[in-house]
Amino acid sequence: MMSIKLLLSVGASLALASPVPAPPSPVLIGRETGHFNASRPNITIFATGGTIAGSAGSSDQTTGYEAGALGVEVLIDAVPQLWNVSNPSGIQFANVGSSEITPEILLNLTQMVQRELDKPECQGVVVTHGTDTLEETAFFLDITLRTDKPVVVVGAMRPATAISADGPINLLEAVTVAAAPAAARRGVMVVLNDRIASAYYTTKTQANAPDTFKSYEQGFLGYLLDIKPVFYFQPALPVGRPYFNVTAAAAEALPQVDILYGYQGLDPKMAEAAVANGAKGLVCTGMGAGSWTRPGQKALAQLAKENGTAVVFSRRTMDGFVESGSVGYGGGFLNPQKARYTLMLALNAGYDDEKMHALFESQSPS
């Protein structure tokens, strides 16, 4: 095991709402001169916790473990092969289960990652993350970062203490992809289980199995063979992918947007309650291609008229396109959690009705 020196980095401190304890201040794992190689790309790893840093009481335990028990130094030490493909450095941004990640934390993360990417000596960034909400963070970064450099979000489905833990190889593959020149200009990517996927479309599809992150309709960008990335396509970005500027001057906090779930006989008052509780926007997880009950639509229309509440319709099905109806905006191919962050960022940016329609209907059939 290599010895890695811990250095305090300059970074904003984080605070999580009670009762969740505040994460540690960000720390930087320095590149030692004994391992540094000027011919290798410099890759910065932002660690946020999750299963990839999890620990359990026994090697056959893959549920009920403690997420975020290990620091980024331990993660890097466990994979010495990282130094064969990069000069890795690590920032302990947070160390929590991904269910504790908040929009405020994501604003801080994307600002720190952008500053790192803006440094000429940084060739790429990897973010380690819990898998439960990994797709939300990856999507958020995808539409708030402006860079051609590779950015990869990675996690694990088994804690570090488990037999055949997938974290070490996933981390090695993520850093390898971030270090690859062919990975540039592809937006934020998700790398797990030998697959390379677009953060814009990728979703967690299975609660327990390692082969879980997929985009059934759009497919994968590539795969890894012998820890070497193979891409299927030339660099390209998703059609209609927006960009939102969330520098410190542009965003201090994001408007509250809540997600409502559609079902037979749904209670229309749940929309009213969400707005009364402070929601400036609502994402409706509709049935089928975004359908909502008539009483529910009536309540939404009234909220939009009287409160100016922005409403976006998505779907509870795994995939599909949701078009605009008589109320609100159709979420297109975005699932509810991704439509939520899109709406939050659009409200923060002050989008009017015309811009909202253009944003959510960017992939409508012509």
Per-residue pLDDT reduced to its tens digit, 48-80: 998 888 776 666 555 656 666 788 998 998 999
pLDDT on residue 247 = 87
How far is Cα of residue 209 from the mean position of the Cα atoms in its chain? 19
pLDDT on residue 60 = 57
pLDDT on residue 25 = 46
- For the record, the structure tokens of 169 come out as 């190889």
> Rounded to an integer, what distance in angstroms lies between the CA atom of residue 128 and that of residue 46?
6
Q: Is 177 left (phi over 0), alpha (psi -120 to 50) or beta?
A: alpha
Q: What burial letters (b/e) apply to 296-309, b meaning 16+ CB within 10 Å?
A: bbebbeebbeeeeb
> Rounded to an integer, what distance in angstroms lies between the CA atom of residue 74 and that of residue 80?
11
pLDDT on residue 11 = 33
Q: Which residues are catalytic?
A: 51, 131
DSSP 8-state class, residue 267: -
Q: Shortest CA distance to 232 belongs to which of 240, 243, 224, 241? A: 224
Q: Digits of tens for pLDDT over the chain (366 positions)?
A: 333 333 223 233 333 333 333 444 445 565 555 578 989 999 999 999 988 887 766 665 556 566 667 889 989 989 999 999 999 999 999 989 999 999 999 999 999 999 999 999 999 999 999 999 999 999 999 999 999 999 999 999 988 777 788 999 999 999 999 999 999 999 999 999 999 999 999 999 999 999 999 999 999 999 999 999 999 999 999 999 999 999 876 767 899 999 999 999 999 999 999 999 999 999 999 999 999 999 999 999 999 999 999 999 999 999 999 999 889 999 999 999 999 999 999 999 999 999 999 999 877 766
pLDDT on residue 301 = 97
Domains defined along the chain, listed by start? 6-231 (3.40.50.1170), 257-360 (3.40.50.40)
Express each pLDDT in 75-113 by its tens digit.
Answer: 998 999 999 999 999 999 998 999 999 999 999 999 999
> Rounded to an integer, what distance in angstroms lies between the CA atom of residue 156 and that of residue 171?
9
**What's the CA angle centered on 323, arms 292 and 235, to 5 degrees?**
135
